[in-house]
């Protein structure tokens, strides 16, 4: 298997499952790294069964690949290993000797119990970057607790600032519409591992990278946390209203809602000119952003009266021409049909062993020196087991015995 891309010289051993770890490892795979995904024999990554929906073949039968698996596992090689058996642990050690990065999201203490801790594996591979993703980190009173995205959204305070204001229809805490904590954690894990690789280029030594869902969730809402640290006040839910920059809210037009995102005083002047209220920037209550934020309860109803006279598309076109950020609230189908999204190639087509192809969301980074990336397909469960075992010196007879004993 010949990989291409800036990370083609990097081998990643992916011992993670669900979403955060696989998301991090897919970033490596997209840019050419050889990512070896370790899965449980017969079961695989639990994300494979997180459905419906599942990818369906031409006969309308499920391929067994769920949305979550397809989201975060393209471009990898899959090997099945029973990590609870000594023979399986030895295979992991053999693979880790040749790896540059190892990513795992087992509970704190599990990898040490398996003899696969950073301290142990770095004895044979001092250059190994070992990235551990857990709910709460390697130390502290919660370090051994289990965690999932939803619970961390609640614990981190994220849900306390997300949702409609209490007392209004639909009021109350809400989770974000995607597992955003897993995604943010995956990004931080990839950044941490890549940073450690750069450091290794200077020192020749590997490192241990400790990434926690709770830490990453709090980092993701850092502006609200900073607001509390500066003022002592507890941020609350404001629905779609921005807490510190105004006017930013969802406002009704004559045929539906639009979001306006006025970001500075200059944009506010332009916005007011478009909607026919050029006097507002000269009102001391609204002249500066800080004034508008403090007087949003007065300003937004005034704006609402004006916007109700417009259709949402006419208003969006007029504000866009004036350089004021805004948008109708798109469905997923509508945003995928947007001419900018289509121009940028946000959706790619990746080969698939059972359906021939499957659509994917492309990596959002573009590099001037790199050609358009050709994304690689998702692995079937254990598809590369024989290939990978052969690469670490196992014979045909060895492999047959391991399979007979359900080690792989």
Cβ–Cβ < 8 Å for 389, 91: yes
Closest CA to 197 of 7, 2, 3, 1: 7
d(CA 138, CA 260): 43
Cβ–Cβ < 8 Å for 388, 112: no
Annotated active-site residue 317? The verdict is no
Q: Considering the candidates 14, 149, 182, 215, report the single residue annotated as catalytic.
A: 182
Alpha helices, DSSP H, located in 204-284: 213-220, 222-231, 265-275
d(CA 55, CA 51): 10
- Residue 310 per-residue DSSP state: S
3-state secondary structure of 23: helix
3-state secondary structure of 283: coil
CB-based burial, 183-220: b 16+ in 10 Å, e otherwise: bbbbbbbbebbbebbeebeeeeebbbbbbbbbbbbbeb
d(CA 49, CA 81): 18
Q: State the CB neighbour count (10 A cutoff) for residue 73.
A: 28
Enzyme catalytic residues: 182
């Amino acid at each position: 298997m010949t990989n291409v891309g800036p990370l083609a010289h990097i081998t990643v051993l992916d011992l993670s499952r669900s979403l955060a770890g696989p998301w991090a490892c897919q970033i490596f795979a997209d840019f050419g790294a050889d990512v070896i995904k370790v899965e449980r024999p017969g079961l695989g990554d639990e994300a494979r069964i997180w459905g419906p929906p599942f990818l369906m073949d031409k006969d309308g039968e499920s391929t067994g690949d769920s949305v979550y698996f397809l989201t975060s596992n393209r471009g990898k090689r899959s090997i099945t290993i029973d990590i609870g058996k000594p023979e399986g642990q030895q295979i992991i050690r053999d693979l880790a000797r040749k790896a540059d990065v190892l990513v795992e999201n087992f509970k704190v203490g599990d990898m040490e119990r398996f003899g696969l801790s950073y301290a142990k594996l770095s004895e044979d591979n001092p250059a190994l970057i070992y990235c551990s993703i857990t709910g709460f980190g390697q130390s502290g009173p919660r370090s051994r607790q289990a965690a999932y995205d939803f619970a961390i959204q609640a614990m981190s305070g994220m849900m306390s600032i997300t949702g409609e204001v209490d007392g209004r229809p639909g009021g109350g805490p809400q989770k974000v519409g995607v597992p955003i904590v897993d995604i943010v954690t995956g990004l931080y894990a990839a950044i941490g591992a890549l940073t450690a690789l750069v450091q290794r280029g200077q020192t020749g030594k590997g490192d241990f990278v400790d990434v926690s869902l709770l830490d990453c969730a709090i980092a993701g809402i850092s502006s609200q946390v900073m607001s509390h640290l500066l003022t002592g006040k507890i941020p609350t839910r404001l629905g779609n209203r921005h807490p510190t920059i105004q006017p930013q809210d969802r406002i009704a037009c004559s045929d539906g809602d639009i979001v306006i995102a006025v970001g500075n005083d200059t944009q506010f002047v332009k916005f007011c000119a478009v909607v026919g209220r050029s006097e507002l920037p000269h009102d001391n209550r609204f002249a500066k952003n800080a004034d508008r934020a403090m007087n949003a309860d007065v300003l937004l109803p005034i704006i609402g009266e004006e916007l109700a006279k417009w259709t949402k598309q006419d208003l969006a076109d007029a504000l866009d021409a004036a350089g004021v950020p805004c948008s109708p609230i798109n469905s997923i189908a509508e945003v995928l049909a947007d001419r900018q999204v289509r121009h940028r190639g946000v959706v790619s087509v990746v080969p698939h062993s059972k359906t021939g192809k499957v659509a994917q969301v492309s990596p959002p980074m573009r590099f001037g020196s790199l050609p358009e990336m050709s994304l690689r397909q998702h692995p079937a469960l254990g598809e590369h087991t024989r290939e990978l075992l052969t690469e670490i010196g196992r014979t045909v007879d060895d492999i047959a015995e391991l399979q007979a004993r359900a080690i792989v």
